[in-house]
Structure 1
Amino acid sequence: MMPTAGGGGRDWPQYFRDREGVSEAYSYFTFPKAKYPDISMFLEAIPDISRVINLANDVLSFYKEERAGVKKNYIHQRAGYEGRDAIAVLKSVAKECIEACKRIESVLEGREPYKQAWLSHLHGYLYMHRSTNRYKLHEIGLGETSCAISSLTKDSFGTLK
């Protein structure tokens, strides 16, 4: 879709992105009711967990999509609406993803085992992208052949700035 003059549809890329996947469902899958029965412990983190699922996928899929010439994606749609190049938007999206992770961590702070469930989900999600040939991250030195870290820690987020 081409952006309208004046940027009237600037929220379209985010709206479309939120509906194209099932990130909200995956957010809830992080906390199976049998093991994590108190929904109040994680509910306010759900919007940001959904956002991280989408944005992390967009960032980690960008290389393979660029390599294949795919332009119909969130990064390129947003770049068109914002009048910026795709690399600048990619950097912004990566920062937004990190900020959402920090907000999730803030919500779940002191709420074990809910926090650990989130960190395990996040680590597994990132590992899946880094270890699957589909994303071709090994071509740019970001691939991973074995899962060496059992979970992410608060200190891990500081290195992602």
Structure 2
Amino acid sequence: MLLNSIVGSILTVNFPITKWLRSWIEPWHAPTSTSPSNEITKTEYEAILRDMLKTMGTGFSPQRPCAHLASQISTHISPVTHNQDLARKVCKVGALVALYFYPTHGPAVQALIGTYTAFYLILDDEGESMLAQISQFRALLMNPSPSSAPAAIQMTMTAPFKLLAWIFTEIDRVFAPPVANRLVAGVLSSLSSLEIELDRSTAFSGVASPLFAKYFRNMNGSSEAYVYFLLAENPEDPQGDGVTGSRLKRFLQGVPELWNVTDEINDLMSFYKESIGGDERDTFVYHQARGAGVSIAEVLRGLAREIPRRSGLIERIFEDDEQLLEMARGFSLGQIEFYLASERYRLAELRLE
């Protein structure tokens, strides 16, 4: 996912790694537990979010049409799961993510990103039944013929992982090699962390480095992959600017900010669904409040200030490259608009205008 970082000398390990992605499709449940005393009211949250939206210059707008793109994604996703209701949901999410996060990308690239998103959500939901394939995917990818593979990995690649192998070939087609390398490395890393999360036979010990939550969050690779998806080549425009060495280096200088703003937008804009409308307390916001000894409202106000500040820094980093600037600006604003437009987050229930 991506939502857990604790300030302090030690931390208790108890968090879902893929929460950032999973929150896009999981059903909402009404609160069932007693809330801790350190809480925030709906009215307070509305004011915090309203100020951030005003500073960023954005707000509610009609949801972008996504049926055609979702249908394209479905041609790849429907065959890899028996749960067609889940397939329908993740295909719509994949389409909306591609349309909102990457508004300047061409339809073919948006379809690829949407398919990857939907695939990962399927894997996250059904992964416990696929642990052997998750564990051995890299080896199977390098030894596609079972007869030539070591005895320990003599299995055939199942349909979901054949789809992932296809996604890798498409990544090579539409991303420059240095970017494709980062994307593939991030996906393989995310499979490793997903395997660890889904393995219920062992547990983490109770005490860990204060940096562990952020390390494991980053190990998942979800936010990083979505940052690098910005650097797509346009296969329909071979004469285009492309990803040159200088452009890639400039982009890399902004990656930490793009990565962090992605997490911060999620932390702030999913809070209403998760912790005001819902009862989730194992989130970055609650961990940060406990670790720093501050209120929930203070953490949320900090996020609301940090998102515009970081977005401004991103614009300064890319100000000499108009194409990167346009993509980065669309990426940040598009994420905010995605949360506003998605029924999942229930933000239409709030007074934000």
Report the TM-score range of the alignment, normalised by the length of the smaller protein.
0.7 to 0.9
Shift of residue 20, structure 1, vs aligned partner: 4.8
Kindly provide the CA deviation profile for residues 6-39 of structure 1, in whole angstroms up to 9, marking residues without a partner as x.
x313545544543456111111111213464131
Structure 2 Cα separation of the partners of residues 142 and 109 of structure 1 = 30
Structure 1 Cα separation of the partners of residues 307 and 211 of structure 2 = 17
What does 1:45-56 align with in structure 2 at a 5 Å threshold? 45-56=254-265
What does 1:116-131 align with in structure 2 at a 5 Å threshold? 116-131=326-341
Shift of residue 100, structure 1, vs aligned partner: 1.6
Partner of 1:105: 315
Unaligned stretches of 5+ residues in structure 2: 11-209, 235-240
**Matched residue count:** 140
Structure 2 Cα separation of the partners of residues 136 and 21 of structure 1 = 27
Structure 2 Cα separation of the partners of residues 118 and 13 of structure 1 = 27
Give TM-score scaled by structure 1 length: 0.76
Further displaced range: 29-38 or 89-98: 29-38
Unaligned stretches of 5+ residues in structure 1: 144-161
Partner of 1:58: 267
Partner of 1:37: 243
Partner of 1:156: none
Contact 1:130-1:142 within 8 A present in 2 as well: no
Distance 1:53 1:107, change over 3 A: same
Q: For 1:123, what is the secondary structure of its paired residue?
A: helix
Task: Choose between structure 1 and 2 for higher RCO, CA contacts under 8 A separated by at least 6 residues.
Answer: 2
Structure 1 Cα separation of the partners of residues 300 and 316 of structure 2 = 25
Kindly provide the CA deviation profile for residues 88-123 of structure 1, in whole angstroms up to 9, marking residues without a partner as x.
111112222222211111100121111001112222
Give TM-score scaled by structure 2 length: 0.37
Percent identical across equivalent pairs? 27
From 319, 322, 325, the equivalent of 1:115 is: 325
Give the CA RMSD over aligned residues.
2.4
Q: For 2:329, what is the secondary structure of its paired residue?
A: helix
Q: For 1:72, what is the secondary structure of its paired residue?
A: coil
What does 1:76-87 align with in structure 2 at a 5 Å threshold? 76-87=286-297
Q: Does 1:73 align with 2:313?
A: no
